Chains A and B, each alone.
Chain A
Amino acid sequence: MNPVELAIAAFITAGIGALGGLGGAILLVPVLVLSGVSARDAAPLGLISVAAGSLAAAPHQLRAHVVNHRLGVSTEIISSIAALGGALASGVIGQSVLAVMLGVVALVAAFFGARRKGIRNLPDPSLTTSDVGEHRGSLSGVYQLDEGEFVAYRARRVPSGLLGMASAGLIAGLSGVSGGFIKTPTTSEVMQVPVKVAAATTTFTVGITSAVALLVYEAQGRIVVSDAALVAAAALVGGTLGVRLQAALPPPLVRKSLSAVLLVIGTLLIVKNL
């Protein structure tokens, strides 16, 4: 893959990753591998894309108060511990079996996201701009749905959600891909957090996970700096555009787009590894 193709791939995948709260690696790594880059070299570039997409999204999402940091930190502890366990146990499960498992999870998440219609959390007319943000001491908050429309939410079924996050972390540790494509549907569909808050919160947490993994890759000498810099530059631009597009789109459309991307990912993973 030449530098122009690499930059275009990083730009597009980071944009989609930021739009759906998936992290770009689950898209970029298969694209790189299909174009002839070895999996060993593709993995660090995928994580560079995730980290850059997370940073690109941060200023806009922080100003819009759309990230629930308390939820992100609470779930990331479980996810990180599971990822660490998964990384230590990597090799126990064959890569093909793991890829098919990832594909099935992606398809199930796509199904549940596409099945639901309309908006679950309806606007509350008593809320105003001053209410927007996360609430102190709890996993709840208010976000701005549209001009003058504000929605209150609370994370529900937290134990089941944490189980989903542990699964995402375990799979991420075993496979080396970001678990964003499991975290966002888990937060949205299991914990019943609005999809835009779920996507933004996941974009925050996958940045944390990728930071630690990049440190390891750097120590192992697996990062080709010039390629990583090119991917970072393109992903920073793609991530910035993706998060602005997400803010402009209605939640059902974001959810449908997320389901469509998950459907493609799941199908590709299963077909390639059966």
Chain B
Amino acid sequence: MQRLAGLMQIALVAAFVLALGGAFVPGSAGHASGVACIVILIVTPVVRVGWLTTSWARSGDRRFALLGGGLLLVLAVGAVIAFLK
């Protein structure tokens, strides 16, 4: 869990720096910085669930590993349906 916390800390600092760039740097560099910040905000929670699922699977906690995999599947289906709609 400490490694996951460290990863989240890095994502937090990166998102903050990129957000400042997106808010205050003019032109395409600022826009790219803002988009990168949004990408981090979208990807981080999914990575967290993936990390937990893998961790549970490795430790033999099969029931919750399956639930984690199920959640990732639901999220993927939801995103696809929303895009198609």
A-B interaction: yes
Instruction: Tell me if B23 and A226 are in contact (CB < 8 A).
Output: yes
> How far apart sit A236 and B82, CA to CA, in the bound complex (Å)?
27
Instruction: Tell me if B79 and A55 are in contact (CB < 8 A).
Output: no
Q: For window 6-32 of chain B, which residues contact chain A by CB distance below 8 Å? A: 6, 8-9, 11-12, 15-16, 18-23, 30-31
Q: What's the nearest-Cβ distance from chain B to residue A244, in Å?
A: 13
Per-residue B-contact encoding for A206-222, CB less than 8 Å = 1, 0 else: 01101110111011000
Q: What's the nearest-Cβ distance from chain A to residue B15, in Å?
A: 6
- Interface stretch, picked from A68-76, A180-188, A266-274, is A68-76
Instruction: Tell me if B67 and A73 are in contact (CB < 8 A).
Output: yes
> How far apart sit A87 and B79, CA to CA, in the bound complex (Å)?
12
> How far apart sit A54 and B2, CA to CA, in the bound complex (Å)?
17
Per-residue B-contact encoding for A47-62, CB less than 8 Å = 1, 0 else: 0100110111011001
Instruction: Tell me if B81 and A69 are in contact (CB < 8 A).
Output: no
Instruction: Tell me if B61 and A136 are in contact (CB < 8 A).
Output: yes
* Residues of A with C-beta under 8 A to B15: 52, 55, 232, 236
Instruction: Tell me if A225 and B22 are in contact (CB < 8 A).
Output: yes
Instruction: Tell me if B74 and A80 are in contact (CB < 8 A).
Output: yes
**Cβ of A65 < 8 Å from any Cβ of B?**
yes
Q: For window 46-85 of chain B, which residues contact chain A by CB distance below 8 Å? A: 46, 48-49, 52-53, 56, 59, 61, 63-64, 67-68, 70-71, 74-75, 77-79, 81-83, 85
Instruction: Tell me if B8 and A55 are in contact (CB < 8 A).
Output: yes
Q: What's the nearest-Cβ distance from chain A to residue B43, in Å?
A: 7
Instruction: Tell me if B19 and A233 are in contact (CB < 8 A).
Output: yes
> How far apart sit A216 and B84, CA to CA, in the bound complex (Å)?
10
Among the listed B30, B35, B77, B79, which residue makes an inter-chain contact with A215, where contact means beta carbons less than 8 Å apart?
B79
Instruction: Tell me if A226 and B71 are in contact (CB < 8 A).
Output: no
Q: What's the nearest-Cβ distance from chain B to residue A120, in Å?
A: 25
Instruction: Tell me if B19 and A55 are in contact (CB < 8 A).
Output: no
Per-residue B-contact encoding for A27-42, CB less than 8 Å = 1, 0 else: 0000000000000000
Instruction: Tell me if B83 and A232 are in contact (CB < 8 A).
Output: no
* Residues of A with C-beta under 8 A to B12: 55-56, 58-59, 236, 240
Instruction: Tell me if B42 and A51 are in contact (CB < 8 A).
Output: yes
Question: Can you name 9 extra interface pairs (CB under 8 A) apart from A136-B59, A207-B45?
Answer: A58-B44, A63-B5, A70-B64, A73-B68, A74-B67, A229-B38, A232-B16, A236-B19, A240-B12
Closest 4 interchain pairs by CB?
Answer: A229-B22, A62-B5, A229-B34, A233-B19
